[in-house]
Amino acid sequence: MNQEQIIIFDTTLRDGEQCPGATLNVDEKLLIAKQLARLGVDVIEAGFAYASPGDFEAIKKVAEAVGTENGPVICSLARAIKNDIKAAAESLKPAAKGRIHTFISTSDIHLEYQLKKTRAEVLDIAGEMVAYAKSFMDDVEFSTMDATRTEPEYLYQVLTRAIAAGATTINIPDTVGYTTPTEFGELIKGIKENVSNIDKAIISVHGHNDIGLGVANFLEAVKNGARQLECAINGIGERAGNTALEEVVMALHVRRQYFNPFVGRSAQSEAPLTNIDTRQIYKTSRLVSNLTGMLVQPNKAIVGANAFAHESGIHQDGILKNKLTYEIMDAESIGLTDNQIVLGKHSGRNAFRSRLKELGFDLPEDELNKAFLKFKDLADKKKEISDWDLEAIANDEIQASPEMFRVELVQVSCGDRSTPTATVTLRTPEGKELTDAAIGTGPVDAVYKAINRVINVPNELIEFSVQSVTAGIDAIGEVTIRLRYEGRVFSGHAANTDIIVASAQAYVNALNRLYGSLKQEKRSQMAQEV
One domain, residues 125 and 254: yes
Q: Are residues 135 and 176 in the same domain?
A: yes
One domain, residues 377 and 459 = no
Over 60: is that where the pLDDT of 14 sits? Answer: yes
Cβ proximity of 135 and 164 under 8 Å: no
Q: What is the pLDDT of residue 315?
A: 44
Closest CA to 371 of 494, 500, 499, 507: 494
> In this structure, is residue 327 part of a structural domain?
no
Confidence of residue 314 (pLDDT cuts 50, 70, 90): very low
Burial of 471 (0-12, 13-18, 19+ CB in 10 A): exposed
Residue 326 lies in a domain: no
Task: Give a yes or no: residue 496 inside a domain.
Answer: yes
DSSP, collapsed to helix, strand or coil, labels residue 335 as: coil
Are residue 380 and residue 450 in the same domain, yes or no?
no
- What would the pLDDT profile of 92-147 be if each residue is shown by its tens digit? 999 999 999 999 999 999 999 999 999 999 999 999 999 999 999 999 999 999 99
Q: Are residues 109 and 193 in the same domain?
A: yes
pTM value? 0.82
Q: Which has more pLDDT, 214 or 490?
A: 214
> Is 311 within the bounds of a domain?
no
Say if residue 216's pLDDT is above 70.
yes
Among 255, 271, 292, give the residue marking a domain's end. Answer: 292
pLDDT band of 349, cuts 50, 70, 90: confident
Whether residues 499 and 380 share a domain: the answer is: no
pLDDT class of 469 with cuts at 50, 70, 90: confident
* Res 445: pLDDT: 96
Question: 3-class SS at 441?
Answer: coil
pLDDT at position 527 is: 59
| Residue predicted with more confidence, 346 or 149 | 149
- Residue 229: helix, strand or coil by DSSP? strand
The predicted model gives 215-241 an average pLDDT of: 96
Residue 216 belongs to a domain: yes
Residue 512 belongs to domain with CATH number: 3.30.160.270
CA distance 376 to 469: 17
Query: What pLDDT is recorded for position 130?
Result: 98
Last residue of a domain, one of 292, 319, 336: 292
235-256: pLDDT as tens digits: 999 899 999 999 999 999 999 9
Does residue 419 lie in a domain region? Answer: yes
Q: Are residues 363 and 414 in the same domain?
A: no
Domain that holds residue 434: 406-527
In this structure, the answer to whether residues 79 and 203 fall within a common structural domain is yes
The CB density around residue 331, as the number of other CB atoms within 10 Å, is: 15
Tally of CB atoms within 10 A around 210:
16
What CATH number has the domain bearing residue 158? 3.20.20.70
pLDDT of residue 402: 65
Residues 115 and 222 in one domain: yes
Q: What is the pLDDT of residue 286?
A: 85
Buried b (16+ CB within 10 A) or exposed e, 357-393: eebbbebeeeebebbbebbeebbeebeebbbbbbbbb
> 17 and 68: one domain?
yes
Strand 477-485 and strand 488-496: the pairing is antiparallel
pLDDT tier for residue 356 given thresholds of 50, 70 and 90: confident
Between CA 513 and CA 519 the distance in angstroms is 10
Q: Say if 34 falls within a structural domain.
A: yes
Q: To 10 degrees, the CA torsion angle through 90, 95, 96, 98?
A: -60
Q: Among residues 65, 202, 179, 81, which one has the least CA distance to residue 130? A: 81
Q: Are strands 418-427 and 433-439 parallel, antiparallel or unpaired?
A: antiparallel
List the single range of 43-57, 277-291, 389-403, 420-434 with lowest mean pLDDT: 389-403
Same domain membership, residue 287 and residue 144:
yes
Q: Choose one of 250, 270, 292: the last residue of a domain.
A: 292
β-bridge mates for residue 411, sequence order: 423
Note whether residue 305 is domain-resident: no
The reported pLDDT for the residue numbered 523 is 67
108, 222: one domain: yes
Which residues fall within 8 angstroms of residue 423, CB to CB, at 6 or more apart?
Answer: 409, 410, 411, 412, 435, 436, 437, 450
Over 60: is that where the pLDDT of 339 sits? no
**Domain count within the chain:** 3
